[in-house]
Structure 1
Amino acid sequence: MAVTLGSETHALSLAARIDRMHRRDRLGALTFVAALWFVLLFVLVTIWPHITDGAIRAILAVCGAGLLILNTAAIFAMLRHYESDKEFIYGLDLTHLDEMRRRKRA
């Protein structure tokens, strides 16, 4: 059994909590992107036979592709930012959550 000081244990605990919170947020964001692609493509395939005008089809295809590309790029950019700055972002969140729990118990 390793002996550690209280502050070292707290730092390791905080790092583990930050990693766990980051993984959960990353999974949620990737799930959102997958759901967005599925829903948009499903809607496009479903309504495609009912659209007879070629110009409307082109507009829908271009706008749908733009929506998917821009939203996917935004989510991936957000995930890269969170990865590079996760100690600050999640550390601050966890500090505030811990403080709220302490106040609630008191």
Structure 2
Amino acid sequence: MNNNLKKRIHSMYLRDCFMAWSDIILIWLAIGFVLISILNIVDDPIVRTVLIVSSALLVLFNTASVGSMTKHYAEDKDFIYGLDIKHLDENRAAKK
């Protein structure tokens, strides 16, 4: 594999990781905002506990899934992104 292709693969991988982790940060912020807003309205302690636990599980599972996804992408990035780059290059050549 030539050096240019490795650079392109690494660039695509880093961009995908950045976007995935940015989305996780946004999910944490959105869930936190909604949870704080709703907790001001809800008076029942059982409902408050359920809301807190379910929100924590939601962000925990989303964070774990993105961590797993980025780990998998790192292991197979040559195959995953190499195929994408091949198709992108073929599409660019076909448009010319």
1:97 correspondence with 2:88 = yes
Partner of 1:16: 7
Structure 1 runs, 4 residues or longer, greater than 3 Å off: none
| C-alpha distance in 1 between matches for 2:39 and 2:50 | 12
Classify the secondary structure of the residue corresponding to 1:50.
Answer: coil
Larger Rg: 1
Offset, 1:41: 0.6
Q: How does 1:45-60 map to 2 (within 5 A)?
A: 45-60=36-51
> Cα deviation per residue 1:49-99 (whole Å; 9 max; x = unaligned)?
110111111111111011011000000000000001100000000000000
Q: How many residues align?
A: 96
Amino acid at match of 2:77: K
1:71 correspondence with 2:53 = no
Runs (5+) with no aligned partner, structure 1:
1-7
Identity among equivalent positions (%) equals: 40
Partner of 1:4: none
TM-align CA RMSD: 0.9
Give me the TM-score of the superposition, normalised by structure 1: 0.88
